Chain A
């Protein structure tokens, strides 16, 4: 299991597009991907669950990847979040 702490930097947080893109990207990895935010565990492969969590700019989150290809998944997640989802 690998995990990493992030601060959400893009102005609108995990709104629909980042949430959808993130979930789609994570779904491509065989491991489980979980976002820990505000005491909750969110399945990062579901755009709806991500959006429902209302993760705004400045939020502190942990991304936890567990299973096959967990390092690749975490690297991909880091690239998206730290890159501000290209916004």
Chain B
């Protein structure tokens, strides 16, 4: 509570000449009334006089501080007068008073004590009080106090300035964190949208991007402490413990892109709930009205985004192995050792395989960690590992079992995470003395027990389902329906471009890679081509159907060629977001055609990512490129039909 927060210019009377103590008091009360600090002047005056009757409030040094705590006060406030010729105020030292402050305090709280203490600390300096007595205008009086307060309590001034001058670089009123599962496009688009909206509203925002390259523009503890609130626009878990006690509005990354102003206003209007890190579970449930499905998606994406590097690097290593063997002239067809025949290929294949081995443990581990925090990591990783090796009760060594694989790992991540969280809740009742043991002994021990029992029970069941899925694929293939599967996967990839459907298809595709059959490689080929078509279709459209697009959209079209060829579907999002009903069906159709054709041509892909760069590893690369081109052209034509020429651009 600063003096300058309580004392207004209008509440200061310079050069007053009251004839008596009573007149001085009335003068100070009138100033309070003028500032609108009082509900009832008479009642407040009574309080002041009652206090004076108990003993003078003059404190020597020609200063008096009459005060009253009263119901008649609206909000804590101060008034002041200077009396150059002095007024008799029954001072203990007998001197007349020349500097008078009057405190109006509400009946609740300690403000009155704190103001008094603070004033004393300032007024002890006689040089300062002499200057105050000689002030010529209220503004000068106030400036003197402000300067003195700044000198005495420098630390709070910087905080105040940060709050008062949001435009200043060091003081962001609103902070934001953006993140998406892949961390390539959405993260940065949301950051840009928020920054632009902030500029428009005159509220600069600092946005931390938790992208694939790690967190950039990281929020500092000081910025967090000084801000009004934090926006989290993320589809995966972000580190929130640091926001403890701050208003936090949590939502999906898409809202950051499409509704940045709405998010900013929520913070400005104080709609965001205060985040409590120690009650993380409840808080997350409360904020941003997250639906169950959304939470599910967020946990899944936390797993997928951490798993991706393993899949990409391992997959490309394995693809290189195949490439080397192919170049060495090793017969591929029907050769199960293909890819590890030449020593160099064998090395690449093994190393890639080691990275692949971490795929399921990492997936399950980070899903469980997203649900149950740190204790979840152990249960998830072990669960994922058990899903990969297929241990059961009769066969704990996993010698001859059917691993539950990718589906089992998903189950391990979610179920183990939730069970552990439930267990943590049950442990709340334990004596406090055991608190320290919980994270180091109790949770890990119980977690391992829970996940081991669960996975040994689940493995046989999931194995059956997994096999059925593969059988289904096989069946589709045998009945020449694989093309249909290719179409479906392709379309799924482009319908939401990085959203849940896209990820579901992608996770399915990468999961199938582990099966290492021709069908599974065909699945991956259809999935990737489906993801490559949308940016390409749009890029082609901006080139061949210029009148459909604005100048900006045409300029960005070129970038989309690179995006598409690199299998970064997210490049299409700005267009899809602007014209969803036109762009999405067109892209989905193009992707479906490409996915189906890829299957029809029996194209195979062993690498889970890489776009044009892994084409050499693709089975039937030329046909694959043909399928891609056809898909992109179909998408472009469809777009030309759906999207009318821009009137302004004609």
- B120 interface residue, CB < 8 Å from A? yes
CA distance A24 to B61 in the complex (A): 15
Known: A12-B113, A13-B113, A20-B59. 15 other contacts (CB 8 A): A15-B113, A15-B116, A16-B65, A16-B67, A17-B51, A47-B59, A48-B59, A48-B60, A48-B120, A52-B121, A52-B124, A54-B114, A54-B117, A54-B118, A56-B110
Q: What residue in chain B is nearest A24 (Cβ atoms)?
A: B92
Task: Judge if B54 is at the interface, Cβ distance under 8 Å.
Answer: yes
Count contacts between A and B, CB distance < 8 Å. Answer: 46
| Chain B residues within 8 Å of A52, by CB | 117-118, 120-121, 124
Smallest distance from the beta carbon of B120 to chain A beta carbons, Å? Answer: 4
- What chain A residues lie within 8 Å of B396 (beta carbons)? none
Are A48 and B113 in contact (CB-based, < 8 A)? no
Q: In chain B, what residue has the closest Cβ to A15?
A: B113
Q: How far is the CA of A15 from the CA of B110 in the complex (A)?
A: 10
In Å, the complex CA distance between A48 and B63 comes to 11
A-B contact pairs, 11 of them (CB 8 A): A12-B112, A12-B113, A13-B113, A16-B65, A17-B54, A20-B59, A21-B55, A24-B92, A48-B61, A52-B117, A56-B113
**Residues in chain B near residue A21, CB distance under 8 A:** 55
| Interface bits A4-39 vs B (CB < 8 Å: 1, else 0) | 000000001101110011001000000000000000
The smallest beta-carbon distance between B433 and chain A, in angstroms, is: 28
Chain B residues close to A by CB (< 8 Å): 51, 54-55, 57, 59-61, 65, 67, 92, 110, 112-114, 116-118, 120-121, 123-124
Residues of A at under 8 Å CB distance from B?
12-13, 15-17, 20-21, 24, 47-49, 51-54, 56
CB-based contact A49/B120 at 8 Å:
yes
Do B55 and A51 touch (CB < 8 A)? Answer: no
B391, chain A: closest CB distance, angstroms: 61
Cβ–Cβ contact B59 & A53, under 8 A: no
Neighbouring B residues of A54 by C-beta, 8 Å? 113-114, 116-118
**Contact, CB under 8 Å: A53 / B117:** yes
A85 to B: closest C-beta gap in Å:
11
Instruction: Please give, as numbers and ranges, the residues of chain A lying within 8 Å of B112 by CB-CB distance.
Output: 12, 15
Give the interface centre of A12, A13, A17, A51 by most chain B CB atoms within 10 Å.
A51
> Do B110 and A48 have beta carbons less than 8 Å apart?
no
Nearest-neighbour CB distance to chain A for B37, whole angstroms, equals: 19
A20 to B114, CA, bound (A): 16
What's the nearest-Cβ distance from chain A to residue B161, in Å? 25
Report the separation of the CA atoms of residues A67 and B109 in the bound assembly, to the nearest whole angstrom: 39
What chain B residues lie within 8 Å of A49 (beta carbons)? 120, 124
Q: Is A16 touching B59 in the complex (CB atoms < 8 A)?
A: yes
Nearest CB of B to A58, in Å? 11
Given the contacts A12-B113, A24-B92, A54-B113, A17 and B120 also touching, CB distance less than 8 Å: no
B106 to chain A, nearest CB (A): 13
